[in-house]
Amino acid sequence: MFRYQSIASRVVSQVLVVLALLVVIVPLGLVLKESLAGAGWRNYTEVLTGTPFLRFFLNSLIISASTVAVVTTVAMAAAYGLVMLRAPFGRTSQVAVIAGLALPAVALTVPLFVTIQRLGLFDSPLAVIVPLCALSVPFGLLVGRNFLAGIPGEIHEAARLDGAGTVTIFVRVVAPLARPIIAVIVIFTFLAAWNEYFLPLLLLQDSSAQVITQVPTYFQSERQVDLPKVFAANVLISLPIIAVYLVLQRQIRAGFVAGAIK
């Protein structure tokens, strides 16, 4: 696209790109600088040794990985059913999903708390995994459906003629083709689950069951907040998200491009 621009347009485009990068990079640099204030790198050491960081890290990893696995499987299977299998009441189901997305999460707080308590799931990972899955599946279903709608139906019919069953077609034909959008669902679901703060705070009262987003609270009190250690904790919390993105970046870019084209 830039090849067909005039010199002035290219200059303006590059300036806008640099400004956009600065908007993103400058706050991150300030966070990193603040995390090193005072004791320097010892702020990170105190976060790792002065809190149950590793235990909380493992709890968050279990919750996030479980949520990603369930959401990706259910969302893609449901999208496959709506698009490829022409499931009955498909349009009604989509309207119900969109209506569910419009419902404020705060309105579900009290019913959710009572339900989790009656099911005996309080202070267990399932207390957070189940609500997170319920909140994340609609998004995965919508983006997965939009992507699968662009796959030619002839591919599905050809696999049928070769004797492949529904599950085989989904696993061996559709899933490999949908790898870019699966990566998008994975990264957004992992991001939501890893950064979730309210649900663990509400449903995980046992200190051994708490998650990594509660680590910064160890450096906050009514009278004082140790900002360098809070920022250091936030930097450490963000590292797994960066790692997941770096692993899936090609598929994520492909998924975004495919969604934009469609």
Q: Which residue has the higher pLDDT, 215 or 14?
A: 215
Q: How confident is the model at residue 72, as a pLDDT? A: 94
Please say whether the beta carbons of 35 and 232 come within 8 A: yes
What is the rounded average pLDDT of the residues 82-98?
Answer: 73
What is the band of 128 on the pLDDT scale with cuts at 50, 70, 90? very high
Q: How confident is the model at residue 258, as a pLDDT? A: 58
Tell me the sheet residues that pair with 220: 225
Q: How confident is the model at residue 236, as a pLDDT? A: 92
Q: Measured between alpha carbons, how far is 35 from 33 in angstroms, rounded to an integer?
A: 5
What is the band of 3 on the pLDDT scale with cuts at 50, 70, 90? low
Instruction: Examine the pLDDT at 29 and tell me if it is beyond 70.
Output: yes
What is the rounded average pLDDT of the residues 130-144?
Answer: 89
Q: For residue 156, give every residue at least 6 positions away whose Cβ sits within 8 Å of its Cβ, in sequence order, or none.
A: 84, 169, 173, 174
Q: How confident is the model at residue 260, as a pLDDT? A: 47
Instruction: Examine the pLDDT at 50 and tell me if it is beyond 50.
Output: yes
C-alpha to C-alpha distances, 235 to 84, 206, 238, 241, nearest whole angstrom:
43, 25, 5, 10
Instruction: Examine the pLDDT at 153 and tell me if it is beyond 80.
Output: no
Chain position carrying tokens 């939501």: 192
Q: How confident is the model at residue 160, as a pLDDT? A: 80
Q: Would you give the distance in Å from CA 72 to the centre of its chain? A: 11
Q: Measured between alpha carbons, how far is 186 from 252 in angstroms, rounded to an integer?
A: 9
Q: Which residue has the higher pLDDT, 4 or 13?
A: 13
What is the rounded average pLDDT of the residues 110-129?
Answer: 90
What is the rounded average pLDDT of the residues 119-133?
Answer: 91
Mean pLDDT (the chain) is: 84
Residue 54: CB atoms within 10 A of its CB come to 11
Residue 247: CB atoms within 10 A of its CB come to 13
Q: Which residue has the higher pLDDT, 260 or 224?
A: 224
What is the rounded average pLDDT of the residues 162-179?
Answer: 83
* pTM of structure: 0.84
Q: What angle do CA 73, 77, 79 make, to 5 degrees?
A: 120
Q: How confident is the model at residue 246, as a pLDDT? A: 83
What is the rounded average pLDDT of the residues 132-157?
Answer: 85
Decide: residue 261, CB within 10 A, 0-12 exposed, 13-18 middle, 19+ buried. exposed
Q: Which residue has the higher pLDDT, 72 or 90?
A: 72
φ and ψ at residue 86, rounded to 5 degrees = 55, 55
What is the band of 89 on the pLDDT scale with cuts at 50, 70, 90? low
H or E stretch including 77? helix 53-83
Instruction: Examine the pLDDT at 43 and tell me if it is beyond 60.
Output: yes
